[in-house]
Amino acid sequence: MSPEVKDVRVLFLGPKGGSGAFGADSERQSKAAREMGAEFVVYEGNSEGELIEALKDVDVAINHGHGWDPKMFEHIGNNGRCKGLASGGHGYDGMDLDAAVKNGAILSNAASFGTEEVSNQTMMHLLVCSRKFVLHDKLVKNGTWTREHLAPMGHISGETLGIIGIGNIGRAVARKALAFGMKVIAYDPFISSWDAKEYDVEIVGTPKEVAKRSDYVTLHTYLNDETRHMVNAEFFGLMKPTAYLINCSRGPVVDEKALIAALQSKEIAGAGLDVFEQEPVDPNNPLLKLDNVSVTNHYASYSELAFDRAKTQVGEEAMRIALGYWPMSLINPDVRSSVAPRKLAVSWEVMLAELGK
């Protein structure tokens, strides 16, 4: 049974130090709790013991840039009042999903908040690579006006974009690439043929086929043991020498040493990267020295609007967990087998109506 809303308590774990894009302000994260009439508690402790005590008296916790020790799962889920953890952001490779499932802890993230931003960043890198912007920007700024380094130059329209991962972001990239007149192929073992038809995307059977056929390959997959280094020396060996790799997902999806080797040997034409295996990136990383590589510092998901939405969304997910609903973005679905049945996730507007708010 869902608890009465007036008795619900939400614990907010803000960023340690209160700095960075997340910020210490909890106004957005608390919006859903305030709309429901629940109590929103900002955690102010500094020790493991204080956090354990705080978790005993709340129904759900929000982790927004605070960090989370897997040992804490032993104090939530089936082990106490706090039933789960709603995390800001999109990636969840820092979470121990197995430990969460073992303890019956329900986990959600704020998936989709930065879909437009990441897909825009992807298309930006694609265009920058296609038009050899890094090289020509450098030449002009250094006083060199020349047309010696134009060919080969991408045409884009009619060329093939290969996407690995057709989730929210992958689909947005596909939509934008189609607007540029590109042919889009994709590998995603979890997408049905009828959904792919709706996206106007051709589904292929293996990542190798994406590598072989694409003029641009873009990665939009999560990071786990299966996807780590899925783009490796073998993958680059299958790509066209005129093709580019774009990565706005997670750095370790790509074997960076193999990428450097492929670029230096001209096995592929170039790359556009928002993420790296080591972050912050080593200033001596060869990728930073190459004129056929565009780089940004892992900010693809950011805009003020997107981060405001992420903060609001994580608060809504927290209230779903606290009130006996499944979250919209459940990141450890195996937990369904270890917890009591829950109501299906519904939109925030429907939840408000169902609960008379």
- Which residues carry out catalysis? 250, 279, 298
Residue ranges of alpha helices (H) inside the chain are 27-36, 48-55, 97-102, 115-130, 133-141, 168-179, 193-199, 207-213, 233-238, 256-264, 304-322, 348-354
- Cα–Cα distance for residue pair 245/214, rounded to 1 Å: 10
Q: Which two tokens stand for residue 123?
A: 């298309």
Answer positive or negative: Cα dihedral of 92, 95, 99, 100: negative
Amino acid at 320: R
Centre a 10 Å sphere on the Cβ of residue 17 and count the other Cβ atoms it contains: 8
**CB within 8 Å of 271: residues ≥ 6 apart:** 129, 244, 245, 246, 247, 259, 263, 287, 292, 293, 294
**CB within 8 Å of 317: residues ≥ 6 apart:** 86, 108, 109, 110, 327, 328, 329
- DSSP type of residue 343: B
C-beta separation of 258 from 280 below 8 A: no
Tell me how far apart the terminal alpha carbons of the chain are, to the nearest angstrom: 18
Counts of helices then strands in the chain (DSSP H, E): 12, 12
